[in-house]
Structure 1
Amino acid sequence: MVQNPTITHTQLKAFHAVAKTGGFTAAAKFLGLTQPAVTQQIKSLETQYGAELFKRVGKSVTLTSTGSLLLNLSDRYFNIAEEAHHLLTSIMQMKSGRLRIACDIAARAFPTTASFRNKYPDIKLSFSIEDQTTLETSLQDFLVDIAISGSPSSHDDLVSFPIAEEPLTFSVNKSHPLANYNEVISSEIGSNDIILVSDNPLEESIQKTILQHLKLTENTAQYYPNTDMVIEAAANNLGGTFLSRREIMHDKRLKSVRINDSDIKRREYLIMHRSKENTPLIEAFYQSLVSKD
């Protein structure tokens, strides 16, 4: 037995492969080595420590009790190595990476990302405008890295974080009679034409809650297929809408009037795949959105 033995990465890698694949031949194929080379690594490891790691029965092998204990350690070792790889890769991306962002409306893209762009000018940002269903599919298929939307996702493999919140408002053209006020009560909205989004199930649910809260009927509403059309309809004085200030702030034709007797909040969400939740680049983006600095 060698004095003060030291296990090598090559030995541990060979052991881990045999334990996971269940055989020397399968491990050799997995590692891209010859079967004798793998056998030699296991033999030298067992000899070096005077420990039997595998029970050999014909061409199959099973772990001994010592082998099972070592497998627990090798699992942790290689998991940490993989995490280190992802960490260093992500840090490298912070210097010259790319972030693909989907938004449900164009108005969210540039104002929302301004802080991140100023702090990380070397990160290339690309944008796409997609409806909620397409946006979520793009996240699930890893076609985009993150999404910014006025509605959270209900998919199990996607996570949504609120990044902005504001009181409910009624947005109208600046020539509209209600534009003369900074605040109104819900009863003052009832006699006005209301414009809503029709092709977004999550937004429809929010709108239904608003209408019920304000004791308004859906029969009085005009529906348009997406938020951009709703904004344009309101800007052309066809009625008012319950979009947030952030959603209409780019359009100087509109004014948002707060609904004083409503406790409903409009929110904006950052959505991502669960597997990307803790990556440094996306974490940095999230912090740029919620930072108070």
Structure 2
Amino acid sequence: MAISYSGLAAFHAVAEAESFTGAARARHVSQPTLSAQVRSLEESYGVRLFDRIGRQTRLTPLGQNLFVITSRLFAAQDEAQALLAGTRTLQRGHLRIAADSATHVMAALARMRSKYPGLTFSLTIGNSSEVVSQIMDFAADVAITARPISDPQIHVLKLRSDVLVAFVASDHRLAAHRSIPIEAFSGEDVVLRERGSITREVFETRLSSAGIRPANLLEVQSREAVREAVAAGFGIGITFDSEFRADPQLTRLKVTGADLAVGEYAVCRTERRRLPLVRSFFETVLEQVAEA
């Protein structure tokens, strides 16, 4: 039995939008038409691809597996269309970027927009694990992450090295110092990002290697929240040196006695690295690094 392309396209649109209404709007078709296409696909194979709970639409386990396949299928279609439609000249196109920090990626996007005014962009910020997942799931075309990756499915380009530093509220007793040994964290309250953050992963590994146990750990969901918590006196914060911004409420501290160097990488799916938009992004971030 030949599979219906329109059924697959309808399924993919709903899975991507997580909504029949949103998918119908994106595809410029009526919701009944879209629902009929998905229902026909399900009935043809005697399967259920979505669980419909009230207004919520969730993929079944089978639907999740199919979505991985359709993501590859339609990503390849986008590449073919980009090549044939002339976006290799970068007169138009849309680039989806994921990053675990906006610090460096925004400058690269500004440079690309200046060179190619016809391009549009979407940027998603998350922790390092989320960023890598978006590349693997075809939810992003390129990404900037601090997480090193050794997966043949992912093309990786190292851009620069950074280092983790500590910071405290300006009235904290450690604020009188310019640097502290890693042993200073013993018995101290520490503010860190959520699990999945490379900042937390690297720092906790270094603490464990040195046999150091902080007193209490406050977990927050963003870099901004880490800064706010530290300024409010909840403990010592950890961030990348390049991301620390001078603030009269905060004091930066170099940490000695541990290797806190972390790389920054531009990544994409290996099979997509020659796509004109992706290749141009890699060239742009390399230019930026060379001029820094």
Task: Please state which band the TM-score falls in when normalised by the shorter chain.
Answer: 0.5 to 0.7
Alpha-carbon shift at residue 272 of structure 1 (Å): 1.3
Counterpart in 1 of 2:188?
A: 192
Unpaired runs of 5+ residues, structure 2, are 1-78
Deviation of the 1:170 alpha carbon: 0.9
TM-superposed deviation, 1:213: 4.3
Matched position secondary structure for 1:192: coil
Residue in structure 2 matching 1:160, options 144, 156, 159:
156
Does 2:189 align with 1:205? no
Paired position in structure 1 for 2:120:
124
> Alpha carbons of 1:142 and 1:253: their partners in 2 closer, same or farther (altered >3 Å)?
farther
Change (3 A) 1:189 1:217: closer
Pairs aligned (count) = 210
User: CA 1:163–1:87 in 2, change beyond 3 Å: closer, same or farther?
Assistant: farther
Q: CA deviation at 1:142?
A: 2.4
Determine the structure 2 residue equivalent to 1:96. Answer: 92
Match of 1:135 among 131, 135, 148: 131
1:71 alignment counterpart: none
- SS for the counterpart of 2:166 is strand
Mapped pair 1:173 → 2:169: yes
What SS does structure 1 have at the residue aligned with 2:252? Answer: strand
1:223 pairs with one of 199, 219, 224: 219
Identical aligned residues as a percent: 22
Q: Deviations over 1:55-113 (max 9, x none)?
A: xxxxxxxxxxxxxxxxxxxxxxxxxxx99x84984522x23222211223455552454
User: Which of 1 and 2 has greater Rg?
Assistant: 1
CA distance in 2, matches of 1:114, 1:182: 34
Alpha-carbon offset, residue 200 of structure 1: 1.1
Equivalent in the alignment of 2:72: none
Q: Is the 8 A contact 1:107 1:250 kept in 2?
A: no
Q: TM-score, with normalisation over the residues of structure 1?
A: 0.58
CA shift for structure 1 position 262: 2.9
The answer on whether the counterparts of 2:191 and 2:217 sit within 8 Å (CA) in structure 1 is yes
SS of match in other structure, 1:151:
coil
Match in the other structure for 2:279: 283
TM-score normalised according to structure 2 size: 0.58
**Match of 1:150, as an amino acid?**
A
> 1:261 matched to which residue of 2?
257
Q: Output the CA distance in 1 between the equivalents of 2:200 and 2:150.
A: 14
Return 5+ residue gaps in structure 1 as ranges: 1-81
